[in-house]
Chain A
Amino acid sequence: MPLMSASGSFTRYKIVGDVPDAVLREPVDILKHHAFQDIDATADERSFGWVSFEDMLDNRFASAPPQKAHYLLFALRLDTRRISPAVFKKHLRVALDAERQAGKEDGRNFVTKDRKTELAEQVKLRLMARSLPIPAVFDVVWNVDTHDVYLNSTNSKVQELFEDLFTLTFELHLERMTPSFLAARILGEARTKELEDIEPSPFAAGA
């Protein structure tokens, strides 16, 4: 529950359009379709999906329901395997040295470009399988009274991942409350034109 930390960064969204009642009645069934899948036993580079707000190991939402008062609470979990560039460089060297050695014995003293690419791929896969995925969890808060949605992150890659997965899961579109969209919300559609025509104010010149 990163949300409970003393300080946290948030991206604000509004859901565009109507939210079907079914989504609010049975959110667990819908979340489960895109629940997080563990990749500890594979060599996959990354995996992401929904988990319980209370427990990042719970992708069945068994420990607690997402409904709390007028909120839906769940979390986006993202596991990523990373290989340190220094480790990769070393193991690629070892593989290339072995290849050159074998080539010499056959009377060849070079490694082709294609073969190098192939070796790099093999090394990467081998190291991936040996490294453990690093888990990260980002809380999601959905106020079902206002249909405001908050993501507990301001990282642009996490924002994009979240927006895509949210739309895929709920078939609902999110509008990020950047200055333009927030202003359009506050002022109403009728005044959008005024926002489109806005230019930077000459503060120093005093009008």
Chain B
Amino acid sequence: MDVNTAALKDAILGQDFLTWLWFRSEKNGWLFRMADGGEVNVYLEQKVSVRGGEGDNVETAVVSGPNAAFAEAREGLKAGKRVDRALLRLEQDGNTWMVQLKADDLSLNALRTPKIETRAAEGEDPDGPILEKLFLVEKGMGFVEELYGQFLAARLGPDWRAELRAFADWLGEKA
């Protein structure tokens, strides 16, 4: 894909992904099955931003709160806006990752991995803590990539229209 086309499609794919992820995580009871057989809990947390319009008419609404149901952001969705930033909490086997995703580039902002011991104990490999940290960083990135892969399978699959109808029903339920 050439760079210009990619730049045009980035925001579309990123916003479709995050919007779908919000709905799909609630519909799934916040549970996603991974390709390796493991399961990951995915929650949208504290802060979500929705965006609509084009060019000079772009409008963004940022909704935040510790236990937010994001009612205002849902109103935004009803008005045709789509999610452009979300803070995700990912949980697996008692470990927690937090990451803020921006739809336009899917860069991983403020990625917080499970806590590690930053100093190697005596007799341990001095590189141990670094390697453990890298393992956790890559694991967090892997979760995001796999969720994105699941989105793409749905988005480009034959059942996307059915998924959109389910989305509209979900949005209506929360009125």
CB pair A180 B13 closer than 8 Å: yes
CB pair A7 B10 closer than 8 Å: no
Chain B: how many interface residues by the 8 Å CB criterion?
58
Residues of B within 8 A of A3 (CB): 130, 133-134, 137
Residues of A within 8 A of B148 (CB): 179, 182-183, 186
CB-contact partner of A207 in B110, B129, B164, under 8 A: B164
CB pair A178 B111 closer than 8 Å: no
Residues of B within 8 A of A112 (CB): none
CB pair B141 A10 closer than 8 Å: yes
Is B67 an interface residue when CB atoms closer than 8 A count as contact? Answer: no
Is A181 an interface residue when CB atoms closer than 8 A count as contact? Answer: yes
Residues of B within 8 A of A86 (CB): none
Residues of A within 8 A of B164 (CB): 201-203, 205-207
CB pair A195 B9 closer than 8 Å: yes
CB pair A179 B105 closer than 8 Å: yes
Is B168 an interface residue when CB atoms closer than 8 A count as contact? Answer: yes
CB pair B131 A179 closer than 8 Å: no
Give CA–CA (A191, B110) in the complex, Å: 32
CB pair A12 B131 closer than 8 Å: no
Given contacts A4-B130, A7-B110, A206-B164, contact A199 B5 (CB under 8 A): no
Residues 1-51 of B at the A interface (beta carbon under 8 Å): 1, 5-7, 9-17, 19-20
CB-contact partner of B16 in A176, A178, A187, A200, under 8 A: A200
The digit string for A52-94, where 1 denotes a CB below 8 A from any CB of B, is: 0000000000000000110101000000000000000000000
Residues of A within 8 A of B118 (CB): 4
Give CA–CA (A7, B145) in the complex, Å: 19
Residues 1-37 of A at the B interface (beta carbon under 8 Å): 1, 3-4, 6-12
A-side interface residues toward B, CB under 8 Å?
1, 3-4, 6-12, 68-69, 71, 73, 141, 143, 148, 150, 154, 176-184, 186-187, 191-192, 194-196, 198-207
